[in-house]
C-alpha cells in the first residue's frame, strides 16, 4: 500500500511512525494483553500514559507549573462557550478580535453569556489582513481578550502575539500549537483541537493559568468547569482515552524530530516553497497579505475556476488528497501541518506546475 499525501485541514495527516506504533500496540499494549482503548482510565497503565503525555506536552511547549494542562473531550468549538462561562466571572464582558470564520463563531457563542466587544475586525478586507493593534478598541476592564492566531479556513495568520496588558490573553491555537516555538507565559489560556498538529479528533487540549481557575459562573455545567477538570486530572469522567494515547505518541515523535524549534524551521521552509511557487505563477493566486499568510493552511485559486474539478481529479489520481477549499471560500487549500512531509509539498508543486503548463 502506498501512503497518499493528505492535505486535509482536519482530521489531518498523522506521522506514519505514530500510526505504525499504534498498529503494533493495537491488540497488546506492553504485554498487558489488551488495547489501550480497552483499558480503564483509572488503571495504573493508563495513568502512566496520561501523565507521560502531559509532561511531554509541557516539555515541547514550555508550559510551566503556573499552568494546568487539561485533556478534554470535544473540539475547539466546545470551548467557545466554556471560555466565557469560566472566565467572565464577576465581569460583564470580554474583548474579541474578528479575523475570520472561527473568530466569528467564537464571538457568536460568547454573546450568549456576556457583553462581547469586537475590538478589531478585518471583515471589511475580506479577512485578507490583520488590523494594526494600535487601532484596536480594547477595554481595560475586560475579563479577557480572545483572538484566533491562525484562521484555518481563510489562511490568515498573526505574525505577532497581541499585547493585552493586564487582561488575560486567550488564543485558539488549534492549527498552530506545536508547529513552532511559543512563549506560553504571554497567555492566560490556550486551547487547541487535537486533529491538526496533535492527534486524532475527539480531544481538545486546554492550557490555562492556574490563577484563572475557580471563576466559573454558578450555572456552568460540571463537565464544562475547568476547575473540576483540573482537580480531577482530566478524569472527572471517562476521557477520550485512545485519542489521548495517540496524542502522547505524537508528542514523542515531535521530540524525536528535534522539538518545536526544528518543526518550526521545517514548517517555514514548506510554506515558503509553496507560496514562492504561487507568487511566481500567473495561473495561481493567494489573496492574503504576504505578512499575514498562514504557515499551516495555504489557500489558492486557479486562473479559471471552471478548471477546479479537473485540478482536483488529477490531484486525487496522484495521491494528493483533500485539496478542495472550504465551501465558504472555494478554490483550493493545502494544509501542511507538522506531519505532512516536505516531499508532499514538493509533489504538490510539481503537479501544480504540470497542470498550469497543460491548462494555462
Cα 263 to the chain's mean position, in Å?
A: 15
Point out the catalytic residue in the list 29, 56, 196, 215. 196
Grid cell digits, residue 352:
501544480
Exposure string over 172-210, b if 16+ CB within 10 A, otherwise e = bbbbbbbbbebebeebbbbbbbbbbbbbbbbbbbbbbbe
Point out the catalytic residue in the list 95, 104, 172, 244. 172
Nearest Cα neighbor of 161 from 148, 143, 178 is 148
d(CA 42, CA 48): 10
Helix (H) or strand (E) holding 102: helix 101-110
136 is catalytic: no
102 is catalytic: yes
**In sequence order, what E strands does the chain have?**
5-6, 67-73, 93-98, 115-121, 145-147, 150-151, 156-157, 169-172, 189-193, 203-209, 284-285, 297-302, 320-321, 332-335
Nearest Cα neighbor of 9 from 343, 348, 350, 326 is 326
CA atoms 221, 227, 231, 233: torsion sign: positive
Point out the catalytic residue in the list 29, 95, 102, 253. 102
Nearest Cα neighbor of 263 from 337, 331, 318, 335 is 337
Q: Are 250 and 274 in contact (CB under 8 A)?
A: no
Q: Are 251 and 323 in contact (CB under 8 A)?
A: no
Grid cell digits, residue 59:
516539555
Neighbours of 61 (CB within 10 A): 23
Q: How far is CA 89 from CA 84, 143, 212, 219, 223, in A?
A: 8, 8, 10, 11, 17
d(CA 96, CA 121): 9
d(CA 352, CA 308): 12
Q: Are 45 and 32 in contact (CB under 8 A)?
A: yes
Query: Which residues have a catalytic role annotated?
Result: 102, 172, 196
Amino acid at each position: 500500500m502506498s501512503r497518499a499525501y493528505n492535505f486535509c485541514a482536519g482530521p489531518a495527516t498523522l506521522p506514519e511512525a505514530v500510526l505504525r506504533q499504534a498498529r503494533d500496540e493495537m491488540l497488546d499494549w506492553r504485554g498487558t494483553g489488551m488495547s489501550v482503548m480497552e483499558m480503564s482510565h483509572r488503571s495504573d497503565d493508563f495513568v502512566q500514559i496520561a501523565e507521560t503525555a502531559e509532561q511531554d506536552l509541557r516539555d515541547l511547549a514550555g508550559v510551566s507549573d503556573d499552568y494546568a494542562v487539561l485533556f478534554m473531550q470535544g473540539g475547539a468549538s466546545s470551548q467557545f462557550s466554556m471560555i466565557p462561562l469560566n472566565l467572565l466571572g464577576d465581569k460583564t464582558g470580554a474583548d474579541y478580535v474578528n479575523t475570520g470564520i472561527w473568530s466569528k463563531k467564537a464571538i457568536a457563542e460568547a454573546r450568549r453569556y456576556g457583553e462581547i466587544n469586537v475590538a478589531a475586525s478585518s471583515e471589511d478586507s475580506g479577512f485578507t489582513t490583520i488590523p494594526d493593534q494600535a487601532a484596536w478598541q480594547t477595554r481595560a476592564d475586560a475579563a479577557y481578550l480572545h483572538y484566533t492566531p491562525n484562521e484555518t479556513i481563510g489562511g490568515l495568520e498573526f505574525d505577532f502575539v497581541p499585547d493585552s496588558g493586564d487582561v488575560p490573553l486567550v488564543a485558539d491555537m488549534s492549527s498552530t500549537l506545536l508547529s513552532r516555538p511559543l512563549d506560553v507565559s504571554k497567555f492566560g489560556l490556550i486551547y487547541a483541537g487535537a486533529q491538526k498538529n496533535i492527534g486524532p479528533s475527539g480531544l481538545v487540549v486546554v492550557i490555562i493559568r492556574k490563577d484563572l481557575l475557580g471563576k466559573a459562573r454558578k450555572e456552568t455545567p460540571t463537565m464544562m468547569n475547568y476547575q473540576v477538570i483540573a482537580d480531577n486530572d482530566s478524569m472527572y469522567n471517562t476521557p477520550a482515552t485512545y485519542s489521548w494515547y495517540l496524542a502522547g505518541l505524537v508528542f514523542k515523535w515531535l521530540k524525536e524530530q528535534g522539538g518545536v524549534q526544528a518543526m518550526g524551521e521545517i514548517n517555514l521552509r514548506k510554506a515558503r516553497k509553496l507560496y514562492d511557487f504561487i507568487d511566481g505563477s500567473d495561473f495561481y493566486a493567494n489573496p492574503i497579505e504576504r505578512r499575514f499568510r498562514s504557515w499551516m493552511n495555504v489557500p489558492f485559486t486557479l486562473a479559471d475556476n471552471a478548471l477546479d474539478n479537473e485540478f482536483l481529479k488529477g490531484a486525487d489520481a496522484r495521491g494528493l488528497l483533500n485539496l478542495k477549499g472550504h465551501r465558504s471560500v472555494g478554490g483550493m487549500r493545502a494544509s501542511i501541518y507538522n506531519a505532512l512531509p516536505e516531499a508532499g509539498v514538493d509533489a504538490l508543486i510539481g503537479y501544480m506546475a504540470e497542470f498550469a503548463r497543460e491548462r494555462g
